[in-house]
Structure 1
Amino acid sequence: MSKDVLWWQSGVIYQVYPRSFQDSNGDGVGDLKGITSRLDYLQWLGIKAVWVSPIYPSPMADFGYDISDYGDIHPLFGTMQDFEELLEGIHRRNMKLILDLVPNHTSDKHPWFLESRSSRDNPKRDWYIWKDRKPDGSLPNNWLAAFGGSAWEWDEATQQYYYHAFLKEQPDLNWRNKDVQTAMFAMMRFWLDKGVDGFRIDVMWHMIKDALFRDNPVNPEYQPHMATYDQLLPIYSSDQPEVHTIVREMRELLDEYPERMMIGEIYLPIHKLVVYYGTDNKGAHLPFNFMLLTLAWDPKRIAAAINEYEASLPRGGWPNWVLGNHDQPRVVSRIGASQARVAAMLLLTLRGTPTIYYGDELGMRDVAIPPDKMMDPQGLNMPDKNLSRDPARTPMQWDNSEYSGFSLVSPWLPVDRTADRVNVRVQHSDPSSMLILYRRLIHFREQNPVFITGSYIPVFADHQVIAYLRREEGHPEFLVVLNLSHRPCYFRMAGRSLYGTIVLSTTPALEQTTIRDTLTLSGDEGVIITLQS
């Protein structure tokens, strides 16, 4: 592999939701010591970078995405010493640590906001977005909050509204204010100086708002089952041109440190997403590509989207792919357990950096959460829309003990009823398990550089199959064929004979089979074939 390929290009990223990964102190909530205790597992799996969701002090209105201190650790998760031990343990295993950074908003309990709210003439008043009511007494504009209702909250003491893109407990910072930029960049330096290897920037595309605060237009495609936020098209409350200046300045700061990187959380169409790579690729290293999270599981659509993405990438822009995260239903619950195996092969054979959400390597599913145990504000604020994110945030399933090895006490969210069968201990010794499939795919990718630095060449897609080549001069040529349906299918190469050996399959019994002319696959099967001339 070329020495010019950096760790965030060659390695697999693994997202840890810290509340749900491992409880080390018996309070039912995961913590830093718990993550440290499971690093050998991540190393065995083949993970090269661990992305940890927020661990900062927070009132937990949005479970850590409402930060009250960017420079410390929430006692729920441990201490700064615990963090430093985690960082050291990750680096000792030749892995990297990516921290979640939430620069768009703070907690309403953050000292900055408490000052800002104290009076209209406080020096930090302009650190947040404050607006008068309109002359008729109405809201400053029609912008909506992602978690329901208006995005404007009235402050009786100072007789103005403040803006919050999410909960009212999460006031948005005013990133047009240079002092805000200076303060946030200082926080980034604090963690970089400690040795963290990068940041995942939360809601990057929200950080700058329209200077004129114009009303958002009505969404003509809104449907009643959608979140209330989707009633409007957020063309003025997000994705403003000036945000790219901020992203570039973040990148310049990161570039002062060797081999640090930045991921951007950006839910935008591809033609807008790729702009976040920045001019001359001096923006986000990896603007998150959520296609596989949001597209219908249809081979023609997926193949077309991959082609569009590949064609849209700027010169030198590095692709990336995501199957799951803490905000979306798990892949097994979206497409079924059988197809999730095929999805794993897709994720780990496409060109670019893959990100795995904890537990997806086991085939964990969304867990039914009783209404009285629901925690997520998105679900609680829109109870009739079934939008809670809790089902995808349940405890990691380590073994078949009472609480699945996550904790010795009842955890903060329920463990799945299938955890006695879907867990690390059971799957570790089963060569046909989802866990072993993920591990084999990760190690196969690492051992065959063509899957990291080789080109992606589309071959075929119909109502059942997607097929593509991974090719690089001086290496074997691989054909990937995935059956995205439940029915058998047959595949032939157009314009050339198909001759090769299946080297890895979602069905291990197929491996080492020689293929001549026609490949026959059962439903829910995928194969990697080494082609021979």
Structure 2
Amino acid sequence: MELRSTIRTAWWHKATVYQVYPRSFADSNGDGVGDLPGITSKLEYLKALGIELIWLSPIYASPMDDNGYDISDYQAVAPEFGTLADFDELLAQARLRNIGVILDLVVNHTSDEHPWFVQSRASKQSPFRDYYIWRKPADDGGPPNNLTSSFGGSAWTLDETTGEYYLHLFSRRQPDLNWENPNVRGAIYQMMNWWLERGIAGFRMDVIDYIGKQVDQAIVTDGPHLHAYLHEMNRATFGSRDVLTVGETWSATPGSALLYSGRDREELSMIFQFEHVTQQWDEIYGKWRSRPFDLIKLKSVLSKWQYALADDGWNALFWGNHDLPRAVSKYGDVKGYPVESAKMLATVLHLLKGTPFIYQGEEIGMTNAPFTKIEQYRDIETLNMHRLHLEAGLSPEDFIKGANENGRDNARTPMQWTSGANAGFTTGIPWIEVNKNYATINAEAAMSDEHSIWNHYRKLISLRKAYPVIIYGRFQSYLDQHPDVLAYTRTLDTQRLTVLSNFSARTITFDLPHELLATGRCLISNYDPVDALKTTMSLRPYEAFAVLAEVAGRDGTKS
């Protein structure tokens, strides 16, 4: 089928991205920590799945206060992950398999051990003083204002050397860079070009909506210069290169999305937005106390973003990442229908318009970690919030329940490769406990089972490459108020793909809108194939399928 000339294509429209959390992916030397040679050893696994891009969470030199998101040297590899030579080997071996490597760009803040900050805090007269955000104490000697850290407590820490406070919107060991300083921006762009010239395929940009902050006006995200900085970055680094850039933007709305990714904006390829995540959080305790799952609200968010970027911009599609709970634990049914619900979630996501991102282990149905004690957690956010929420009155039991549902360590337990010791992740002692269900949930078993979740993902990835309607078809939602069924179509010229899914653990019978009635070909299903879309449909627990049918074209004919 010929694509209409109005569609602007890009190589990454067809690609599926796989996120690797290096610390937990594969350990090659038995020290209990995943590393770059470990990732290289698993490239054939990723190639077999059909992956064309991998995004690495930070691999740079770091004290690891926040597992690498506190960087002390942007152009060095953390010793626990390997060497720069190991990275170059990973890049070369990935290229041989037609796999690109995307790096995590963390430039809202650095580590307090970065040489810039070491010199910045040494003296008010340091040429690096203005690389960070310093303010005098308030009249009472306290913080300059009441900005709070995402990890709890004040966003300001007093540095006794100079008697001033520095800003850190995350850990106190992650001081925020001052993007108003052109020297900071220039140094960052130089570093980005250094990596691009090394051959990477792009960047995922950590909390990039923070870089335009105006702290004296208490503006943290979406500051007045944010898009000017991104436009400048584009022109100074990746704009002339055919690479993928995706920004992490917790504050983004459908109204602002095109400012980042509009085709004529010269900013980013796409953004991650988190409205489908945050709508499930409690108003008082946030993610540490979840609201009941509401499919109608989830459908509303997914549809809103599909419509907002229908004709310009591009969606980044994901259920999970290193900061979020496991998809099947959050949206599926790990006790009753773990395989069916995991396949259903994959079907729903991968057939939407946008580029899908798979988080490591999602493709085999890895689940949340069943930790029972705070001592089992390693995440700085979880440990900080545990203290603060207990002080605020939340019971220890309720906090652990919330952490089990939404804590970041759910995504960070080691990748489950085999049913052997430590799930085949390491021959040593893992840095964080392996999920005990690795004996039954592991990649080795999944790859050998033609009906596995892994093979379902593999088929979805291959379908994406084969059918333009999956990439460029226009989205339309149906049954928006149904509490259990998610339904949508993707239409391109005379082809229409209809996706039906059941988000419940019971059989659901419902009437299909008349305009969807058709007989076609079932491209994928997690039960028996369904070819006919009838007036009355029944979906078994967590059933999902997609039917491709010919429909009337723009001139009223069928092809």
TM above 0.5: yes
Rounded to whole Å, the distance in 1 between the matches of 2:349 and 2:249 is 19
Query: Which residue number corresponds to residue 469 of structure 1?
Result: 489
User: What does the per-residue CA deviation read over 1:425-464, in whole Å, with 9 as the maximum and x for residues that have no partner?
Assistant: 1111222221111111111222212101221122333112
Deviation at 1:516, TM superposition (A): 4.1
Q: Give the Å deviation of 1:257.
A: 3.9
SS of residue paired to 2:479: strand
Instruction: Kindly report which structure 2 residues correspond to 1:168-247, keeping only aligned pairs within 5 A, or say none.
Output: 168-210=172-214, 213-214=216-217, 216=218, 236-247=219-230
Contact 2:320 2:327 in 1 (8 A): yes
Consecutive unaligned residues of structure 1, counting only runs of 5 or more, are 217-235
Q: Quick one: distance in 2 between partners of 1:36 and 1:204?
A: 28
Query: Is the aligned partner of 1:341 residue 2:325?
Result: no
Inter-partner Cα distance in structure 2 for 1:513 and 1:312: 31
Deviation string, structure 1 residues 90-116 (Cα, Å, up to 9, x no partner)? 111112111001000010000000000
What's the CA shift for 1:504?
4.0
Name which of 245, 248, 260 aligns with 1:265. Answer: 248
Q: Does 1:389 align with 2:389?
A: no
Q: 2:474 pairs with 455, 459, 476, which one?
A: 455
Measured against aligned partners, the alpha-carbon deviations of 1:138-173 in whole angstroms (never above 9, x if no partner) come to: 210000011111111001110100010011111001
**Which residue of structure 2 lines up, in the alignment, with residue 353 of structure 1?**
355
Q: 1:278 to 1:144 in 2, by over 3 A?
A: farther
Provide the secondary structure at the position in 2 that maps to 1:529: strand
- SS state at 2:144 partner: coil
Greater Cα offset, 515-524 or 236-245: 515-524
Q: Does 1:146 align with 2:147?
A: no
Distance 1:455 1:421, change over 3 A: same
- How much is the aligned-residue C-alpha RMSD, in angstroms? 2.0
Do 1:467 and 1:480's aligned partners in 2 also have CA atoms closer than 8 Å?
yes
Structure-2 separation of matches of 1:527 and 1:459: 15
- Residue type of the alignment partner of 1:360: E
CA distance in 1, matches of 2:472, 2:202: 22
How far apart are the structure 1 equivalents of 2:32 and 2:441?
Answer: 20
Q: Is the 8 A contact 2:47 2:97 kept in 1?
A: yes
Q: Give the secondary-structure state (helix, strand or coil) at the position aligned to 1:5.
A: coil
Measure, in 1, the Cα distance between the counterparts of 2:525 and 2:452. 9
1:323 is matched with: 319
Would you say the 8 A contact 1:505–1:525 is kept in 2? no
Q: CA deviation at 1:282?
A: 1.6
Shift of 1:518: 3.1
Matched, 1:44 2:62: no
Q: Secondary structure, in 3 states, of the residue corresponding to 1:205? A: helix
* Matches for 1:342-491 after TM superposition, within 5 Å: 342-369=344-371, 370-383=373-386, 384=390, 385-386=399-400, 387=403, 388-461=407-480, 462-473=482-493, 476-491=495-510
Contact 1:490/1:521 (<8 A) preserved: yes
Deviations 1:190-239 (A, max 9, x none): 0001011100110111112216x13x5xxxxxxxxxxxxxxxxxxx1222
Partner letter of residue 401 of structure 1?
G
Q: State the distance in 2 between where 1:302 and 1:137 align.
A: 46
The structure-2 alpha-carbon separation of the partners of 1:300 and 1:471, relative to structure 1 and needing over 3 Å to count, comes to same
CA distance in 2, matches of 1:344, 1:293: 17
Amino acid in structure 1 at the alignment position of 2:221: S
User: 337-346 vs 117-126, which deviates more?
Assistant: 337-346
SS at match of 2:513: coil
Structure 1 position 531 matched with structure 2 position 549: yes
Matched-pair contact (CA < 8 Å) for 2:71–2:111: yes
Pair 1:248-2:267 in alignment? no
Structure 1: distance between partners of 2:146 and 2:102: 36
* Cα distance in structure 2, aligned partners of 1:341 and 1:145: 37
Aligned residue for 1:5? 9
Distance 1:515 1:271, change over 3 A: closer
Amino acid at match of 1:325: N
Task: Give the counterpart of 1:495 among 504, 511, 514.
Answer: 514
1:75 match: secondary structure: coil
Output the CA distance in 2 between the equivalents of 1:532 and 1:512: 16
Query: Partner letter of residue 541 of structure 2?
Result: G
| Cα distance in 2 between the residues matched to 1:512 and 1:176 | 57
User: Deviations along 1:300-330, whole A, 9 cap, x unmatched?
Assistant: 3233223321333385211221110111111
* Corresponding residue of 2:59: 55
Cα distance, 1:340 vs. partner? 3.0
Matched position secondary structure for 1:403: helix
Structure 2: gaps spanning 5 or more residues: 281-292, 391-398, 552-559
Structure 1 stretch displaced more, 147-156 or 447-456:
447-456
TM (normalized to structure 1)? 0.91
C-alpha contact (below 8 Å) 1:266/1:273 kept by paired residues:
no
Q: 1:279 to 1:158 in 2, by over 3 A?
A: farther
Whether 1:121 aligns to 2:125 is yes
Higher mean alpha-carbon deviation, 5-14 vs 412-421, is at: 5-14
1:515 is displaced (CA, Å) by: 4.4
Q: Distance in 2 between matches of 1:48 and 1:313?
A: 23
CA distance in 1, matches of 2:155, 2:299: 38
- TM-superposed CA distance for 1:368, in Å, is 2.9
The 10-residue stretch of structure 1 (488-497 or 334-343) with the greater mean CA deviation from structure 2: 488-497
Structure 1 residues 89 and 257: CA distance shift in structure 2, 3 A? farther
**Residues of 2 paired with 1:33 and 1:471: CA distance?**
43
**How far apart are the structure 2 equivalents of 1:532 and 1:308?**
26
Equivalent position amino acid for 1:352 in 2: G
Change (3 A) 1:206 1:76: same
The answer to whether the 8 Å contact 1:458/1:469 transfers is yes
Q: Which amino acid aligns with 2:484?
A: Q
**Partners of 1:469 and 1:238 in 2: CA distance:** 34
Q: Which moved more, 1:242-251 or 1:371-380?
A: 371-380
8 Å CA contact retained: 1:105, 1:173: yes
Conservation of the 8 A alpha-carbon contact between 1:293 and 1:322: no
Specify the SS of the correspondent of 1:40: helix
- Report the Cα offset of residue 473 of structure 1: 1.8
CA distance in structure 2 between the aligned counterparts of 1:247 and 1:315, rounded to whole angstroms: 22
Map Cα deviations across residues 15-69 of structure 1 (whole Å, 9 max, x no partner): 0000000001111110000001101111111111100000000000111000000
- Offset, 1:379: 1.2
Conservation of the 8 A alpha-carbon contact between 1:248 and 1:278 = no
Q: In the alignment, is residue 285 of structure 1 matched against residue 304 of structure 2?
A: no
Identity %: 39
Partner amino acid, structure 2, of 1:313: L
> What secondary structure sits across from 2:73 in the alignment?
coil
Q: Structure 1 residues 249, 72: CA separation in 2 closer, same or farther (over 3 Å shift)?
A: same
- Match of residue 66 from structure 1: 70
* Aligned-partner residue type, residue 529 of structure 2: E
When residues 256 and 304 of structure 1 are mapped into structure 2, their CA distance, relative to the original with a 3 A threshold, is: closer
How many Å apart are 1:255 and its aligned residue?
A: 4.2
**C-alpha displacement of 1:502:** 5.4
Larger deviation: 329-338 or 143-152? 329-338
Indicate if the aligned counterparts of 2:516 and 2:533 stay in contact, CA closer than 8 A: no
Give the Cα–Cα distance (whole angstroms) in 2 for the partners of residues 521 and 444 of structure 1: 22
Q: Spell out, residue by residue over 1:260-291, the C-alpha distance to the aligned partner (whole angstroms, 9 max, x if none).
A: 12110011233344432268232221111334
Partner of 2:290: none
For residue 433 of structure 1, what is the amino acid of its counterpart? S
The amino acid of 1:481's aligned partner reads: L
